[in-house]
Chains A and B, each alone.
Chain A
Amino acid sequence: MIELEGLTKRYGDKLAVDHLTFQVRPGMITGFLGPNGAGKSTTMRMMLDLDNPTAGSVRIDGKHYRDLQEPLKYIGALLDAKNMHGGRSAYHNLLCLAQSNRIPASRVAEVLDTVGLTAVAKKKSKGFSLGMGQRLGIAYALLGDPEILMFDEPVNGLDPEGIHWIRNLMKSLAAQGRTVFVSSHLMSEMALTADHLIVIGQGKLLADTSMAGFIRENSRSYVRVRTPQPEQFKDAASAAGLSVSLREDGSFEIEGADMAEPVGELAAQHRVTLHQLSPQQASLEEAFMQMTAQAVEYHAHNLNDPGAAAAAAQADPPLAQNAPPAPGQQGQGPQWGKGD
């Protein structure tokens, strides 16, 4: 169990992490989601007591990180694949870390085997590809057989087989009752692995919710209809008691998962011509992007339309209960957005 309490980090006049309060519970995978620069890595560094918080605290099973006896046996973390000495072999990089926590040398060989690096164990780690470095970092996290595991964007640089492997690894670790905390900026990745979701944007907590709850609230199914006879269609649908909404581009949306069949039959009965009748699903990625739209720091600007990003930033918050507060309310802490 990891508990964050009002965790804050300020770089100059920039708040990288802004009063984060949440818990990471055992026995499940908690996804830590946020766009680039949201403050995920900074938060994780503070959790490991590498960076000093400006305010707030982190407790690991009730203790400060610095008070842990042989911390690798409590918590294993992959921060960055590059955080090893390139001039040292993979084996020796892990050996010196194992020795500091009195972990037997035999365990080094074991974890190298687990991550599939046995063949290159004696090679200097500076020659490693990004994916191999990532695996070495994961081996380090597993070294002390810890109850808590933390991974900062572990799929970064892994091939499809590697991604599949890390997903299964995290799931089996969580199934053993361990605490797994994993960051990503891809909602789709989280949807496949995480049981619980923590979303941040510009250092602020935007959501702290179960994955199932997030999917329930944010995956909308509907049917899109295009017709040259919009008036007739609208009347017929209203008469049949369907909720229809007209979109800007002139198409209609009818809410519901299996509405294509009844809508098609309704149109046929009323002799309305349809040009399109297609079931649609709003993706979780869209929901995530909408949630963080206001908090995204590094908008990619459309070259033809420099105003687009600004317009997007000003759009109404689409998810009222999860929306970030208006500028005037900032700094009131993370109480909002805890829908489950």
Chain B
Amino acid sequence: MAAPSAVLKSEWTKVRTVSSTMWTLAAALVLTAAVGALLSGVMNATYDDLSRAEQLTFDPTLVSFFGMMLGQLAMVVFGVLVVSTEYSSGMIRTSLAAVPQRAAFYVSKVVVATLLALVVGLLTSFVTFFVGQALLGDHSASITDDNVLRAVIGAGLYMTVITMFSMGVAAMLRSTVLSLGLLMAFFFLISSILAGVPATRDVARYLPDQAGSAVMQVVPGALDSDKLPYGPWGGFGIMCAWAAAALIGGYAVLKKRDA
């Protein structure tokens, strides 16, 4: 078997030597922070227009993470490209000839991209939080308030697990276009539509992004939303289960199918 550290090093070189890594991760940070800042500013200015119930459950931490709606899409692109470009370029054959042990290859690739996503995710979540709170003025939260630090770290973890889920889906579909088409449509449209329609709301709560975003809430039932059937870490756990299932599916495809 190829030495694990050697394969990790190889995958790290792969990730850092393509320009898509830089621009997708930068886009994730900028989009999340900028859109969060914008919406925080708007919320601060229109706070008095909120209903009484919304004011009572006002969650400044969650508000500063509203930009995640867009920022997560950049993480999806990052996760998909890390895997799918192996297939679209034909590099997969060269890579597997060099590391024929599928598990070593796959785990190394996923670990390297996950660690990078974790670093960028945490950086993004802290930057986003502090910028957002600065713009929320009198309505802001402090990092030392109860559960706020958990929510900020949770936002970084959320971005990391979105990336892992995307890698698993890309490993199953083996195509950039298919994976991006499916995941973009899912996270940007389908998930929010299902969560918005009363008939499907209860089911939609268990979708990876809906469940995972519970970890970013500090106030239960924030902004007068429905109470969730799981806690912050429970929701995050559901999201992790989705990512694990996708990654296992991706591994099964890699192991079984011809390269």
Contact A140–B94 (Cβ < 8 Å): yes
Query: Which of A46-54, A111-119, A208-216, A252-260 lies at the interface?
Result: A46-54
Interface digits, B1-20 against A, CB 8 Å rule (1 contact, 0 not)? 11100110111011001111
Interface residues of chain B: helix, strand, loop or mixed (majority): helix
* A332 interface contact, C-beta 8 A: no
Contact B98–A100 (Cβ < 8 Å): yes
Interface residues of B in 84-133 (CB under 8 A from A): 85-86, 89-91, 93-101
A-B interface pairs (CB < 8 A), number: 98
Minimum CB–CB distance from A71 to chain B (whole Å) comes to 6
Closest to A91 in B: B17
Interface residues of A in 73-132 (CB under 8 A from B): 77, 79-80, 82-89, 92-93, 95-97, 99-102
Interface digits, A41-82 against B, CB 8 Å rule (1 contact, 0 not)? 000010011111000000000000110111110000101101
Contact A52–B98 (Cβ < 8 Å): no
Provide the residues of chain A in CB contact with B9, threshold 8 Å: 99-100
Contact B258–A83 (Cβ < 8 Å): no
Q: Give the docked Cα–Cα distance between A85 and B16 (Å).
A: 13
Count of B residues near A, CB < 8 Å? 31
Interface digits, B65-86 against A, CB 8 Å rule (1 contact, 0 not)? 0000000000000000000011
Q: Give the docked Cα–Cα distance between A51 and B97 (Å).
A: 11
**Which of A49, A87, A100 is the one whose CB lies under 8 Å from B2?**
A100
* B259 interface contact, C-beta 8 A: yes
Q: Give the docked Cα–Cα distance between A51 and B96 (Å).
A: 11
Q: Give the docked Cα–Cα distance between A92 and B11 (Å).
A: 11
User: Given the interface contacts A80-B93, A87-B20, does A102 sit within 8 Å of B13 by beta carbon?
Assistant: no
User: Given the interface contacts A52-B258, A100-B98, does A85 sit within 8 Å of B1 by beta carbon?
Assistant: no
Q: Give the docked Cα–Cα distance between A106 and B19 (Å).
A: 24
Q: Could you give 17 example pairs across A and B, Cβ below 8 Å?
A: A45-B93, A50-B93, A71-B97, A79-B97, A84-B91, A87-B18, A87-B19, A87-B85, A87-B89, A88-B14, A95-B17, A96-B10, A100-B6, A100-B7, A100-B9, A100-B95, A102-B3
Residues of A within 8 A of B (CB): 45, 48-52, 65-66, 68-72, 77, 79-80, 82-89, 92-93, 95-97, 99-102, 140
Excluding A65-B100, A83-B93, 10 further A-B contacts by CB distance (< 8 Å) are A66-B100, A68-B100, A69-B1, A77-B97, A79-B94, A80-B93, A82-B89, A83-B90, A101-B98, A140-B94
